[in-house]
Structure 1
Amino acid sequence: MEKIMLEIQKLGFSQYESKAYVSLLQQAPVTGYELSKRCGVPRSMIYEVLNKLSERGAIYTLPSEPVKYSPVPAKELLKRLRRDVDATFAFLDQSLAALGSNNELAVIARIHGREPVFNELHSLVESSKSELWLSVWEPQATLLSQSVACAEERGVNVCSIVFGNAACRLGTTFHHDYMPADVVKARIGGQLTLAVKDRQEVIIANFLDHGASWAVKTQDPALVLVATEYVRHDIMIEAVMRHFGADKLDELLRKQPELHAVVTGKFKDRAKKQ
């Protein structure tokens, strides 16, 4: 029931309006006094709430003594709300596009929070038309898999490198095996994620275990190019490792200690060497 209340509130109803409407669906017609007792809306507020529901077209007022109230059937109400929302979106789609047609896009948009960042990634994948370059970690990789599959069905070419979950496929997929994921995560401080769409737009994100995840989104051609080359580089390193074997890579790192800083991001204290 709590979930239903929350979803109704997303449609613009207040908490009290949601409670009153759901209660009327369960039993009606009732007086305002009876409804107040049943749904938990304070008696001092119930008639204001009923007036708001009436203005929304969500309830009927029945002429009786005392006055009683009955709900508009849920299917009918949702049909009306959907029609109103569709009309609003259609109007804003044209009106807002016209307002922004002469404005330059911001060079960089910043997004904060795990869910908003993931939603931006999801939208970027869904809007792709020709190609996607992805560097993604679990669990985001699995959560994006359906959208990526739909993109492929549209004819989008997808290349990805995936950290974790060897079973996850995102287009032409390479799994990051040449270096333990926890080493990369420790160096970066999180799960660095990149998604490049159609060589035109990029999202660079960092999903954090502690603290607020963040991302930047831009159409800046320099950042789009750098991000694309970053993903390509990781894919090529993974391909080389597959061909020559992990042992060869380990041998290379052992024989060239200066590569330790490249792998870990930690430089030796130059003062100590002197």
Structure 2
Amino acid sequence: MENIYKELQNLGFSQYECKAYIGLLKNSPITGYEVSKRTGVPRSTIYEVLGKLLDKRAIYTVPSEPVKYSPVPAKELINRLRKTFETSFDYLEKELTSLESERETDVIWRIRGNDHVIEEMLAIINHAKDELWLSIWEPEVPEIKKAIDRKVAEGVNVFTILFGSPKTQLGLTYHHNYMPPDIVQERMGGHLSVAARDGEEVVIANFTETASPWAVKTKDPALVLVAIEYIRHDIMIEEITKELGPDKLDALWRRNQDLIQVVTGKRFESS
């Protein structure tokens, strides 16, 4: 019953209104006094509650002495509420959009909390129309894989660099094999994940074990471009490593003090 109350409250009913309406569904027609007695709605407020239900067109009165009340049938009420909300949404979508000022493309939104960050990444994925660029770590895969698979099925071009989860495919997937993920994680201070769509919008997120995940979201064309180029670069490094072998790539930088800092974020320490 609590779940029913919760859903009715989501549609604008108070807890007392929920109790009174459900009580009338079970027993009607009955007087206000009887509604109060059967539902636990205080007698001091029952007629105010019934009045609000009448205003919502959720119940109606039955002419009698004293006045009795009956509920609008559940299916009829649900259909009425659905039409009301759809009408309101259509109106607000039109009117609020017309009032909305042109937003600056360089606005950056900051997001905190794991659920909110994942939600924003899913929004990027779900809104992709032509192409999607992803840099993803294994722990995020279960949260987003279904959405990515849907986009692939729709014909969206998905390019992914994936840290860990070597058997997983997220569109055209390149697995980050050259440098162990823990080294990359140490340098970045966490799992830096990126989702960019259509050259228009990007979410750049960082998932850490010591603090709440955070992200930034923007349509700034410069940041979108940088994010996509970052993913392109990682993909090419993986392909170069595959072609030349990790030993040759190691030899290129491990004895070069400047490149050690570029690759690992640390200065070279001579023994």
TM range (shorter): 0.7 to 0.9
3-state SS, counterpart of residue 128 of structure 2: coil
Cα RMSD after superposing both structures: 3.1
Q: Distance in 1 between matches of 2:194 and 2:130?
A: 17
- Say which is worse superposed, 43-52 or 225-234, in terms of deviation: 43-52
- Say which is worse superposed, 253-262 or 213-222, in terms of deviation: 253-262
What is the match of residue 188 of structure 2? 188
Q: Distance in 1 between matches of 2:190 and 2:27?
A: 52
Overall identity of the aligned pairs, in %: 54
What is the match of residue 126 of structure 2? 126
What is the match of residue 159 of structure 2? 159
What are the within-5 Å matches in structure 2 for residues 71-110 of structure 1?
A: 71-100=71-100, 102-105=102-105, 107-110=107-110
Give 1:159 deviation, angstroms: 0.3
What is the match of residue 59 of structure 1? 59
Say if 1:128 and 1:156, in contact at 8 Å, map to a contact too.
yes
1:140 lines up with 2:130 in the alignment: no
What are the within-5 Å matches in structure 2 for residues 1-274 of structure 1?
A: 1-100=1-100, 102-105=102-105, 107-245=107-245, 261-262=261-262, 264-267=264-267
Inter-CA distance 32–95: structure 2 relative to 1 (3 Å threshold): same
Inter-CA distance 67–97: structure 2 relative to 1 (3 Å threshold): same
**Deviation by residue 1:58-95 (Cα, 9 ceiling, x = unmatched):** 22333344443333233222211221121122222222
**Deviation by residue 1:170-228 (Cα, 9 ceiling, x = unmatched):** 21112333334344334433332211111121111223445443222212111011100
Q: Distance in 2 between matches of 1:27 and 1:210?
A: 55
Letter in 2 for 1:136: I
Inter-CA distance 98–246: structure 2 relative to 1 (3 Å threshold): same
Say if 2:133 and 2:158, in contact at 8 Å, map to a contact too.
yes
Q: Distance in 1 between matches of 2:4 and 2:183?
A: 44
Inter-CA distance 222–106: structure 2 relative to 1 (3 Å threshold): closer
Q: Rg larger in 1 or in 2?
A: 2
Give 1:2 deviation, angstroms: 3.0
3-state SS, counterpart of residue 45 of structure 2: helix
TM-score (norm 1): 0.80
- Say which is worse superposed, 259-268 or 6-15, in terms of deviation: 259-268
3-state SS, counterpart of residue 44 of structure 2: helix
Gaps of 5+ in 2: none
Matched residue count: 270
Say if 1:190 and 1:206, in contact at 8 Å, map to a contact too.
yes
TM-score (norm 2): 0.81
- Say which is worse superposed, 2-11 or 17-26, in terms of deviation: 17-26
**Deviation by residue 1:27-72 (Cα, 9 ceiling, x = unmatched):** 4444434444544444433332222222112223333444433332
Q: Distance in 2 between matches of 1:41 and 1:242?
A: 71
